[in-house]
Amino acid sequence: MAYIDFLSTLHKATSRDYIARLTEYPKAKAIETAKEYGYDYWDGDRKFGYGGYSYDGRWRPVAEAMVKHYGLQPGNRILDVGCKGSLFSVLLAGVGFEVWGIDLSDIGRYKSRHPNFRFIKGDVTTAQLPENSFDVITIISTIEHVGLKNDGDIGCLKRLHSLLKDNGQIILTAPYGSPALFERSRIYDRERLARIFEGWKIERMDFFKEVEPGKWIGAEEDEVSKIKHVSDNVHSIVCLMASK
């Protein structure tokens, strides 16, 4: 399975002094500030996180590559669940999609500024959202944190099913391997995915493993299903597309 890389062209386009980044400000203090996920992380100085979001066009090729890879169509209305920690929703808004985002926490100012992006703070299972109205729902690195004590992930997928138009699609990523439950997340296997996707039509499943920090490559299901996680640190994932 091929290695999918959306970002290397963008990263190579700008010269970066990584040594200066590490030495100009105490790293431990920067991490402590970043973990508050407040203004400094989203819109403050770059040493704390995103450094704000600028619509200068540099991210457009990344968004276009994602759109092509996942087969999104012009005019789609997209709901991004758990949107706070990702640029995905704003990238899609930047290439013309109508994007709604929902998260339990407030998001940075940079997202709320985009004219094609609408943010709702709340729980997707109870929030006032229009049913049968979204063409695509994305839920990236989120479902593994939902309802760990009460099978809340099953209820969440039922709710998302009701929000999609007929034949609408969901794109989901989740940790995958030998099943496990931790304090903040769970690891999925084929059996658990079958439970949460009851009533859906699974179109495709792609599997990836981490071969070095930050580098992921495609892998076979048999391989990643044997990977045992000992903590919330994820080393193998599934990317799944299903339709209503």
Burial 60-91 (b: 16+ CB within 10 A, else e): eebbebbbeeeebeeebbbbbbbbbbbbbbbb
Helix (H), strand (E) at residue 93: helix 88-94
Can you list the domains of the chain with their CATH numbers?
8-17+56-243 (3.40.50.150)
Can you give the pLDDT at residue 57?
60
Q: CA triplet 27, 31, 36: central angle to 5 degrees? A: 155
Q: Kindly report, residue by residue over 120-134, the tens digit of the pLDDT.
A: 999 999 999 999 999
Element (H, E) at 41: helix 39-43
% of the chain residues with pLDDT over 70: 76
Greater confidence (237 vs 95) lies with 237
The per-residue pLDDT for 61 is: 73
**Are 119 and 127 contacting, i.e. CB atoms less than 8 angstroms apart?**
no
- Which of 169, 229, 176 has its CA nearest to residue 206? 176
In this predicted structure, what is the pLDDT of residue 41? 63
What's the confidence (pLDDT) of residue 74? Answer: 81
Average pLDDT on 85-107 reads: 84
Confidence grade of residue 4 (pLDDT, cut at 50, 70, 90):
low
Selection from 10-19, 44-53, 139-148 with the highest mean pLDDT: 139-148
Top-confidence residue, 212 or 46: 212
pLDDT tens-digit series, residues 37-83 = 566 666 677 676 656 555 556 666 767 777 787 788 888 999 999 98
Q: Is the pLDDT score of 109 beyond 60?
A: no
Q: In the prediction, which pLDDT does 26 show?
A: 74
* pLDDT given at position 50: 58
pLDDT reading at 188 higher than 80: yes
Which pLDDT band, with edges at 50, 70 and 90, does 144 fall under? very high
Does the model's pTM come out above 0.75? yes
Distance between CA atoms of 167 and 145, rounded to whole angstroms? 27
The more confident residue out of 215 and 43 is 215
Structure tokens that stand for 189 in this block:
């296997």
